[in-house]
Chains A and B, each alone.
Chain A
Amino acid sequence: MISKIINMVDRMKDAEDRWLESMFQSEPIADDGFSDRVVWRLWRRIWIRRLTLPAAMLIGGAVAIKPAMQLVLVGSRLLNAVPQELFVAPAAWISQLPIILFAGTVLVIGMLSARMLEE
């Protein structure tokens, strides 16, 4: 008896659900260019994103070129004002550059090996 009642309640619920489904159903909406409009907006966004950085670099470069040139000129004038003795010492280092580079490489490799051994 109880199971019959449960079945009846289930059937009633099913009928109600089916009825609600039919009430909530509506005709499919025709695309009518909707998807094309979305894809077009998408394309526009993608291209705006792609072009923003190069455009900003171009504009920034155009704006910055004059002050940058002035900075270079000022820098070169400052270099002329620096005493010549200061350039002698670095010039002497240049001949020993391969040895310095080799020592640096050995040092880095040594440190990395030590770390690997530790791990």
Chain B
Amino acid sequence: MLVAQAVSVQDTAAFGELIRRHQSQVRNFLRKLTGDLSAADDMAQDCFLHAWNKLQTFTGRGSFIGWLLKIAYTTFLQSKRKSKRYAEILDEAGYVAQTESRSYTPRQDEISDLDKFLAVLTEDERAIMVMSYACGLSHREIGDATGLPVGTVKSVIFRGKEKIRKNFDIKDHQYG
């Protein structure tokens, strides 16, 4: 309803309400992905601006949050590519690059168990695990968001779980 209103009359107030409803999930997703609060919030802002421009492409087939997280993930990947290119340019120019790698680097004084788990995962695994366990997206929605087949999503989740089990020596009886 709000989406339709925002699309039909380019209603920024309706879109503002959509941001208020979903900002927490989008920012949480990007924070877990980057481990950097301010970078994640900048990306979240960019994500919502992109979402505004692409609002007409939302067909309503999946959930709105799934569609938003797809844009958030794309924004994250674009930002990563940009900073990589920036580092390359600095490198070519002979500077020692001091750019953020956008890898998972939480502050040392507030490392949680989750941070430790996320640190052993690759970027794709991290994104998919966060979408699945933190944002509650279905495998199909994750597939739509990442552009991967559902089977691949399942195997990435399986691999991620294996890594967590292996790296932290977690036995079956220790859940819960």
A interface with B by C-beta (< 8 Å): 12, 15-21, 23-26, 28-31, 34-39, 41-43, 45-46
Contacts and interface: CB of A to CB of B under 8 A. Distances in A.
Interface string B165-176: 000000010011
Contacts of B134: 21, 24-26
B49 interface: yes
A59 to B, nearest CB: 27
Contact of B172 (A16, A20, A29): A16
B176 A19 contact: yes
Nearest to A9: B172
Contacts, number: 79
Contacts of B176: 15, 18-19
Interface of B: 10, 12-13, 15-16, 19-20, 23-24, 27-28, 31-32, 41, 44-45, 48-49, 52, 113-114, 117, 129-130, 133-134, 136, 161, 164, 172, 175-176
A38 B27 CA distance: 13
Nearest to A37: B45
A41 B45 contact: yes
13 contacts: A17-B133, A21-B133, A23-B114, A26-B32, A29-B31, A34-B27, A35-B16, A36-B16, A38-B19, A43-B12, A45-B49, A46-B10, A46-B12
Contact of A23 (B15, B28, B49, B113): B113
A13 to B, nearest CB: 9
Contact of B24 (A28, A36, A37): A28
A42 B48 CA distance: 9
Contacts of A29: 23-24, 27-28, 31
A35 B49 contact: no
Contact of B20 (A12, A23, A26, A31): A31
Task: Report the 5 A-B pairs with minimum CB-CB distance, sorted nearest first.
Answer: A24-B133, A19-B175, A35-B19, A24-B134, A15-B175
A23 B133 contact: yes
Given A24-B129, A28-B24, 10 more contacts: A15-B172, A15-B175, A19-B175, A20-B161, A21-B134, A23-B113, A23-B114, A26-B32, A29-B24, A42-B52
A17 B139 CA distance: 13
Nearest to A17: B133
B23 A24 contact: no
